Amino acid sequence: MDLELTGKRAVVTGGSRGIGLAVADQLAAEGAAVTLVARDKDVLEQAAARVGRHGTTVLARPTDTRDDAAVRAMVAEVVGTLGGVDILVNAAAEPAGDPVPSLAELSDDALRSEMETKVLGYLRCARAVAPHMVAQGFGRIINVSGLNARQTGSIVGSVRNVAVAAMTKNLADELGPSGITVTAVHPGMTVTERLPQLFAGLAERDGVTEQDVAARFTAATSIGRLITAEEVADVVTFLASPRSVAISGDAIAVGGGSRGSIHY
């Protein structure tokens, strides 16, 4: 299937590592020009060099999505350089924290920080690109959320991801008549460069081996293993394509299946 992404112009926030980097790499492999957005300039430039091997235009744009003026300046620069924006993938967020604080230990600032970065950060980026997408009559916005939206265990994780899903549906309904689809994806525990450190910390905390920790998470999936960042990127890349027009406003789980749960 031709995803019709050749020549499309994408902005990927959180593009310096993890799922964001995997998405940027896959979009470039499909022929899209990609702007990678993150806060760390050095790491961002290394990521851009990696994505650039596909031969498409790749820009590295250090930006803090917590700053609305910085977001608007970034989008203005991308539009000025590439002529527009067709795709926005919002993936700039802090990974789910561990250990998860109890109610008594949870501070107001912990939740405020997550909402500022993941929810408002995603909103700022969508708000900045939307006028350009509306003017051209086409756009794809994909918000990387998380399966904490569908399970308990982390108040902060659930609240921020449910908020992303709610925002996604509202944007989809408002922007849909202008040719713009908006979707969310819910990754579960995903194999990225940070996973070994996470498993080591959990193993030390619980007094078990890292293999025991890995087995705990893989047993919770329908396919019996963890999904990789590249496999999440495969789904996001399809959603970013013109071929995905039948999907909008929905949140799609990309965690290998959650055992015992039925979502309809």
Kindly report each contact of residues 48-57 with a partner whose C-beta sits within 8 Å and lies 24 or more positions away, as own/partner: 50/21, 50/25, 51/21, 51/24, 51/25, 52/28, 54/25, 54/28, 54/29, 56/28, 56/31, 56/32, 57/33, 57/82
- The dihedral over CA atoms of 126, 132, 136, 137, expressed in degrees to the nearest 10, equals 30
pLDDT at 46: 96
Q: Which residues pair with 35 in a beta bridge?
A: 11, 59
Using only C-alpha atoms, the chain has a radius of gyration, in whole angstroms, of 18
**How far apart are the C-alpha atoms of 56 and 69, rounded to whole Å?**
28
Lowest mean pLDDT among 79-83, 86-90, 144-148, 200-204: 200-204
What is the CATH code of the structural domain delimited by 9-189+226-252? 3.40.50.720
- The model's confidence at residue 96, banded by pLDDT at 50, 70 and 90, is low
- The model's confidence at residue 97, banded by pLDDT at 50, 70 and 90, is low
Nearest CA to 141 among 152, 131, 130, 157?
Answer: 130
In the chain the first and final C-alpha atoms are separated, in Å, by 28
C-alpha distances in angstroms, 148 versus 63, 113, 145, 158, 170?
A: 26, 17, 8, 5, 20
Q: What is the pLDDT of residues 153-195, one digit of tens each?
A: 889 999 999 999 999 999 999 999 999 999 999 999 999 988 8
**How far apart are the C-alpha atoms of 49 and 101, rounded to whole Å?**
38
